[in-house]
Chains A and B, each alone.
Chain A
Amino acid sequence: MSPGLRFALLTALGLALFPFAFHAIDGYAGLATQILIMSIASIGFNLLLGYTGLLSYGHAMFYGGGGYVAALLLIRVMPQHPNLWLAVLGATLAATVLALLVGALAVRLYGIYFALLTLAFAQMIFFVVEQSQDWTNGDDGLQNFPAAMLPIGPYSIDLGTPLPALPLGPFGNLSDIKLWYIFAALVFFGVMIGVRALTRSQFGEVLTAIRENEERSTLIGFNAPAYRLAAFAISGALTGLAGALRALYDGSVPIDSVGIERSGSFVIFTIVGGVQTLFGPVVGTGLIMYLEAVLSGKLDYWRLIEGVIFVAVIIFLPAGIVGTINNRVKERRALLAASVRAK
């Protein structure tokens, strides 16, 4: 079996089992869906941080932007025939355009200056959204927009429909799962396959080369800013896609979806899971969201725990959870290979 096929099969298997295994540890299907959706945003964020080394402190502008555009398309453009495809595609496109505009200016900067410029743009977007009250409803955010249907061929599918009932003991009931989970899992699967291919393509290799040594890459003839801009645009597009999905899933777009704390959350998710790894952002997103959803009901101060985890990871596991595991596995293999050779 080729590594690519094996990766695809394992991912698909994981997605199929996830909500049931999750139920056994006090998770619930709605949260599983949200985790997949937010993971897409983190994957997008990691594409930028992991493969260009650029830390964006403004990814909420793409996330929230995607959400607002999706909601506004439903409210203003197609209230009679709310089409989920069009809302999601329109929102993703809008996020991509925004990322190209901001990126065109930002990719010339590095480090703190890049972080602060993305923060500045995100704050501008936040306050513009907040003040455009006729469109965005200001501080209250958007709710009450038509529930989008997913047209497939002659059918129009309501993703809120649950699967048929089938008790599964400690793993819950099949009917806990709504079509939304399946839809989110399919999109997630597509994103995973796409991002894996991208990072293994020549494009990914050039990005890594630029990150490691920009001068040398430029001398070889690569247009570094153009590559970074492309990475920024794809990153923004994925985050915008996630924002749109979350808005449609939740049926609301809060003002905090474009806020600075949302930008910070992508940083936390990705760092905890592990930058420069495929599954790191997913694990980080899942872990933090799970802790939030479970601990917030039991402990008043789960956010303190979240902060401690974050700092502990930075200090003790700078490669993140998945990155550290990957490194250990690699070391083991190297040791094993060495001992085999020695024999």
Chain B
Amino acid sequence: MTHVSNSTRGRFIGGAAVASAAAFGFPGIITAQSKQIVIGVNVPLSGPYADQGKDQQRAYDLAIDQINKSGGIMGMQLKASVGDDQTTAGVATDNAQRMIDRDGAVMITGGSSTGTAVAVSALCQRKATLFMATLTHGDETTNQNCHKHTFRRYNDAYMSAQSLARTLISKYGTGTWFHITADYSWGWSVHDNLAAVVNPRGAKEIAYVKLKLGTTDFSSALSQAQAAKPDVLVLTEFGADMVNCLNQAATFGLTKTCKILVPLVDEYMAKGTKDNFAGVVSTAPFYWQYHQQHYTYAKRFVEAFYDRYKAYPSNGAETAYVNMMVYKKAVEAAGSTDSAKLIPILETMQWNMTKGPEHFRKEDHQGVNSCLVVEGLPAADRTSDGFGFAKVLEEHNGPGIMAPLESLSCKMETA
């Protein structure tokens, strides 16, 4: 890792220095030391979500290089302090704390799990440091545990469930549902949202099996499913866990005997499951093949990413990239990296990049954008590199699929 700051010490850097120092009551004591903005990139490079984390890191590198080459942000160069959060809340907060205390990071971003996102979010709130969450899909991040310093652009589980519901009810009917779920906030959130949508419409939930993140052997849950003979098998697993789970489900013959639903998917999960993912319905906030046809900004991003890495960006990478670009835009508008000045800007700012017009909802800092319902293609029908893995069934748009404001239990701090 080459991105670590050695030259910057202390918390306040560049343009933020004077403003923050004044806010803390020591005007003029801390002066600008270097023309640099340190960003904490906290992504899983090991553990079950490592593929997703590595792809995010690629996108951060790309975004940061592009920004720096075009003159940085207000003349200041971006520098990343990278940490492997190991998909573990404790490690993620340790990393973020170090990035802030040791490297002087003024913004933390990245991550591939709601468990780590919620933990880092709480830390960043205490440290008054901006947190631009990346791949976190559980509602909690912007609902039950929302914080003033946290913004999440990625779809939440509520949006996925609402989007799926519209396609699902006609396709999957209302039979018996068997849930195999990752046992942490994300899994619980997805399950609750799906159940809230399909159960009232006549779906009968016959099991809700929760398995620890990083489970390697799904046989007990799968053989229960095998014995229960459900109409729909919901695999709320992500990353390598989902690959493992779906591939093992195939060895139990389940891909043939029931309809499989995977609430959230990305390119790497589809690649790892090959034909087992054929016909599986899922959601994704971004799909390079689809979005590059509709938005020139997306096309430029996908091409730049491909040029550099000879691979197409997964949806987590896209959020990582857009997070950086949104951050740049916000800092330039605020004229400062001080979170107290940035937050009001981010709460009202609009941008038009990879997915058309987007913004953060002021009340919960949830990104308002679209959600795709996709269906996996058989391996033979995919692009030869495996990245073109799905066909888009439907695109659902922002406000209509989002949790209504009055239903939120988000209690936002004032600062």
Residues of A within 8 A of B (CB): 26, 28-31, 130, 137-141, 143-144, 147, 160, 162, 165, 167, 172-173, 175-176, 250-252, 254-257, 293-294, 296-300
Does B340 sit at the interface, judged by CB under 8 A?
Answer: no
Residues of A within 8 A of B30 (CB): 165, 173
Does B19 sit at the interface, judged by CB under 8 A?
Answer: no
Map CB proximity to A onto B98-115 as digits: 1 under 8 Å, 0 otherwise.
Answer: 100111000000000011
Contact of B102 among A28, A130, A167, A172 (CB under 8 A): A28
Are A298 and B4 CB-contacts (below 8 A) given A139-B212, A176-B10, A257-B90?
yes
Complex interface residues of chain B between 1 and 40 (CB less than 8 A to chain A): 1, 4, 9-10, 24, 26, 29-30
B26 touches A165 (CB 8 A): yes
**Shortest beta-carbon distance, A128 to chain B, in Å?**
14
Whole-angstrom CA separation of A268 from B1 in the bound complex: 26
Cβ-closest 6 pairs across A and B:
A254-B90, A143-B122, A139-B184, A30-B101, A140-B115, A256-B90
Map CB proximity to A onto B305-345 as digits: 1 under 8 Å, 0 otherwise.
Answer: 00000000000000000000000000000000000000000
**Shortest beta-carbon distance, A138 to chain B, in Å?**
6
Chain A residue nearest in CB terms to B182? A139
Complex interface residues of chain B between 52 and 98 (CB less than 8 A to chain A): 81, 83, 88-91, 93, 97-98
Residues of B within 8 A of A173 (CB): 10, 29-30
**Shortest beta-carbon distance, A134 to chain B, in Å?**
11
* Beyond A144-B122, A251-B123, A293-B98, 8 additional pairs, beta carbon < 8 A: A31-B102, A141-B89, A143-B145, A175-B26, A252-B89, A254-B90, A294-B102, A298-B1
Does B118 sit at the interface, judged by CB under 8 A?
Answer: yes
A254 touches B29 (CB 8 A): no
B93 touches A250 (CB 8 A): yes
Residues of B within 8 A of A254 (CB): 88-91, 93, 119
Are A296 and B83 CB-contacts (below 8 A) given A28-B102, A139-B183, A254-B89?
yes
Whole-angstrom CA separation of A137 from B103 in the bound complex: 30
Residues of A within 8 A of B93 (CB): 143, 250, 252, 254
Residues of B within 8 A of A147 (CB): 126
Whole-angstrom CA separation of A209 from B310 in the bound complex: 68
Residues of A within 8 A of B26 (CB): 165, 175
Residues of B within 8 A of A (CB): 1, 4, 9-10, 24, 26, 29-30, 81, 83, 88-91, 93, 97-98, 101-103, 114-115, 118-119, 121-123, 126, 145, 183-185, 212-213
**Shortest beta-carbon distance, B99 to chain A, in Å?**
9
Residues of B within 8 A of A293 (CB): 98, 102
Are A140 and B29 CB-contacts (below 8 A) given A250-B97, A252-B89, A256-B88?
no
**Shortest beta-carbon distance, A237 to chain B, in Å?**
23
Chain A residue nearest in CB terms to B126? A251
Chain A residue nearest in CB terms to B95? A296
B101 touches A28 (CB 8 A): yes
Are A140 and B184 CB-contacts (below 8 A) given A165-B29, A254-B88?
yes
Residues of B within 8 A of A299 (CB): 1
Whole-angstrom CA separation of A128 from B119 in the bound complex: 21
B90 touches A297 (CB 8 A): no
Whole-angstrom CA separation of A36 from B122 in the bound complex: 23
Residues of B within 8 A of A300 (CB): 1
Contact of A141 among B101, B119, B145 (CB under 8 A): B119
Whole-angstrom CA separation of A175 from B11 in the bound complex: 11
Residues of B within 8 A of A294 (CB): 102
Residues of A within 8 A of B123 (CB): 143, 250-252
Residues of B within 8 A of A130 (CB): 212
Residues of A within 8 A of B83 (CB): 296-297
A252 touches B122 (CB 8 A): yes
